[in-house]
Amino acid sequence: MFRHRFLLILYPAQGHINPAFQFAKRLVSLGAHVTVSTTLYMHRRITNKPTLPALCFLPFSDGYDDEQLRDLDVETKPRILVNTFEALEAEALRAVDEFNMIPIGPLIPSALLDGKDPADTSFGGDIFRPANGCDEWLDSKPEMSVVYVSFGSFCVLSKTQMEELARALLDCGSPFLQRFKLVYPGSLSLYVDQKMQKVSLKVMF
Catalytic residue among 4, 16, 33, 43: 16
Helix (H) or strand (E) holding 136: helix 134-139
Distance CA 90, CA 3 (A): 32
What secondary structure letter does DSSP report for 74? -
Nearest-5° angle of CA 107, CA 17, CA 62? 145
Strand pairing report for 147-150 and 5-9: unpaired
16 catalytic? Reply is yes
Instruction: Report yes or no: 140 and 152 within 8 Å, Cβ to Cβ.
Output: no
Distance CA 13, CA 142 (A): 32
Q: Which are the catalytic amino acids?
A: 16
